[in-house]
């Protein structure tokens, strides 16, 4: 597959547990192996890096989960109920 796919994100090689995923700036979709301490709960999942006009956008989705964490200002943030237009549990 050609690397010139009109800006499409490419699936990259799996990241070793020693890789600090928060330092990755090359666009792509990266499988993350269980035990990597730079992702939430050291879980396995997919890291997506995309470029925006100001900086890379980094998100992580744990395996077997629909929750997508965003890396914002040096921290992983889990969406809140209001972020997804849902009612909080009472």
Is residue 79 situated within a structural domain? no
Quick: pLDDT tens for 38-73: 999 999 999 999 988 888 899 999 999 888 999 999
Total number of domains constituting the chain = 1
Residue 53 falls within a domain, yes or no? yes
Q: Is residue 80 part of a domain?
A: no
The pLDDT score that the predictor gives to residue 85 is 74
Residue 49 lies in a domain: yes
Q: Structural domain of residue 35, as residue ranges?
A: 1-73
Residue closest to 18 by CA, chosen among 38, 2, 1: 38
The answer to the question of residue 87 being in a domain is: no
3-state secondary structure of 58: strand
| Entry field: residues in the chain | 90
pLDDT in tens, 8-20: 678 898 999 999 9
Residues 6 or more apart whose CB falls under 8 angstroms from that of 77 comprise 69, 70, 71
Examine residue 84 and state whether it is found in any structural domain, yes or no: no
């Amino acid at each position: 597959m050609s690397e010139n796919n009109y800006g499409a994100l490419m699936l990259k090689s799996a990241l070793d547990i020693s890789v600090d995923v928060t330092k990755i700036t090359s666009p792509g979709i990266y499988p993350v192996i269980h035990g990597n301490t730079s992702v939430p709960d050291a879980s396995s999942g997919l890291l997506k890096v995309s470029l925006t006009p100001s900086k890379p956008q980094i998100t992580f989705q744990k395996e077997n989960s629909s929750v997508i964490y965003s890396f914002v200002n040096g921290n992983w943030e889990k969406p809140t109920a209001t972020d997804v237009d849902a009612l909080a549990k009472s």
